Amino acid sequence: MLSLNKLINKLVKGKSGSDGRRSADPVIIPREEHSISRKQISQNALNVLYTLKDAGYEAYLVGGCVRDLLLGHEPKDFDVATNALPEQVHKLFRRSRLIGRRFKLVHVHFGRDVIEVATFRAPPEENNHVDEQGRIVQDNVYGNLEQDAWRRDFTVNALYYNIRDFSIVDYTGGIQDLNAGLIRLIGDVETRYREDPVRMLRALRFVAKLGLKLDKNTEAGIFQLASLLKDIPPARLFDETLKLYLTGNAAVTHELLCHYGLFDEMYPQTAALLHQEKDGYPRTLLMKALENTDKRIDDDKPVTPAFLFAALLWEPVRQRAQLLMENGMPDITAMQRASSEVIIEQVQRVAVPKRFSLVTRDIWNLQPRLIKRQGKRAFRSLLHPKFRAGYDFLALRAESGEPFTELVAWWTEFQQASATQQQKMVDSLGGEGTGKKPRRRRRRRPAAKNVQKDS
């Protein structure tokens, strides 16, 4: 990475304007003064860059991949920015697709690998492209490299790697902020958050992922404007939830979301109960679930969003089911009713698709069933398609302080036992707790006699 002193000397030559912009001339960091090597860049991304360059267009790596390479991280993907129009890009690559309605992008396919190519964009015009709340409703105006840099969200995401001379182009002071360990919004903080409130979530995700800290104005804006998330479509907040919780930094990210009040806007049922918790159980279970999720991701093991949502929403389901049982409803029925009510309310904020919410309900509904093991119940539970997820959740509950340690141990042994041993384990439980009432024999009525009437 370029030394901090050299960068600061270069950057301070241009004075900042009233809108936070530095001079129009970008800082150009030559190849010998930064750490990015073509060996670190995907060969597919290099193919796209060179194809655009050889066709006479500008071509840059941009955004998170440049930021991550400078920080010594392996980028998740590589994005390309160019002055070529989407249709022109599409013609250059046989295996490419035009996508997007509001603003067209090109996806260039190399097997499973996809390189996203975007044409330089201009910032939205205040009068024509922003609604009364300040949100962007139209941003499909093409621009140049400088405009594209200034319309991006954070300075560390507005760095461009130029394939022509392997230099880095920095209009917004991103390198300086990167060296200072700062996440800073480009431009006026309130304006940028109002344009797209999801930027608050992105800021915290970068803090958790990169170990950086928020610039003081960027941070203050989140406290002030967290409620703007109410206006974000629930489907988009579902996508953001997966990015926040399923990228290996769930535990840290969750703490940040709670600290800045964003979790309250996304998961209000759970947040309300976390605020009033007395025994610490709800937070303990959720944090253990998130830590386990992070560990599975680190170990390259699969994770399912359904289990994540089961943990995120368990406390409102548990308390609602408990209240229903106190009012006389059977435990399994109460759990089913509570599960449905909590999901219905939650999807108004975060639209959890049915393919996940149905599995989440199965996990919850298995909890009272796993307690009842007599007769054929244990065998039926074991054959349930989501038994393993339900069992794992029961183990999580026991680990978090609920009195199910012996029950979890029983199920652990039961899964591994032979059929004969399983039957012995069930028989040893006795008949208590089956919940069955003795059947009453139905009295058979005598058959009606056919009586012939006299004619």
Position of tokens 């200034």?
Answer: 150
> Which residues are known catalytic residues?
77, 79, 153
pLDDT at position 221 is 97
* Cα angle: 28, vertex 159, 47; to 5 degrees: 95
Single-letter residue type at 157: N
Distance separating alpha carbons of residues 306 and 361, to the nearest angstrom:
9
> Which part of the chain has CATH 1.10.3090.10?
276-427
Alpha-carbon torsion (359, 364, 369, 370), positive or negative: positive
Asked: is 4-195 a CATH 2.40.50.140 domain? The reply is no
pLDDT higher than 60, residue 237:
yes
Stretch 380-393: mean pLDDT, rounded? 96
pLDDT single digits (tens) 407-443:
999 999 999 999 999 999 999 998 644 444 445 556 6
For residue 40, give the 3-state DSSP assignment: helix
User: Comparing C-alpha atoms, which of 374, 372, 381, 408 is closest to residue 392?
Assistant: 408
Name the residue with higher pLDDT: 450 or 344.
344
Percent of the chain surpassing pLDDT 70: 85
State the pLDDT confidence band at 14, using cuts at 50, 70 and 90.
very low
Position of tokens 């969003």?
Answer: 305
User: Comparing C-alpha atoms, which of 231, 168, 172, 169 is closest to residue 197?
Assistant: 231
> Which part of the chain has CATH 3.30.460.10?
4-195
Strand bridging mode 213-214 / 182-183 = parallel
Stretch 78-101: mean pLDDT, rounded? 94
pLDDT at position 27 is 95
The model's pTM is 0.84
Distance separating alpha carbons of residues 32 and 71, to the nearest angstrom:
16
pLDDT at position 435 is 44
Q: How is domain 276-427 classified at the architecture level of CATH?
A: Orthogonal Bundle (1.10)
Range of lowest pLDDT (11-20, 116-125, 231-240, 282-291):
11-20
Residues facing 393 on adjacent strands = none
User: Comparing C-alpha atoms, which of 69, 162, 62 is closest to residue 118?
Assistant: 62
Percent of the chain surpassing pLDDT 90: 82
pLDDT higher than 50, residue 10:
no
pLDDT at position 455 is 38
Stretch 178-200: mean pLDDT, rounded? 96
pLDDT higher than 60, residue 365:
yes
pLDDT at position 276 is 83
pLDDT single digits (tens) 287-334:
999 999 999 999 999 999 999 999 999 999 999 999 999 999 999 999
pLDDT at position 11 is 41
pLDDT single digits (tens) 47-77:
999 999 999 999 999 999 999 999 999 998 9
pLDDT single digits (tens) 102-153:
789 999 999 999 999 999 999 876 555 555 655 555 556 899 999 999 999 9
pLDDT at position 12 is 37
Alpha-carbon torsion (351, 353, 356, 361), positive or negative: positive
pLDDT at position 439 is 54
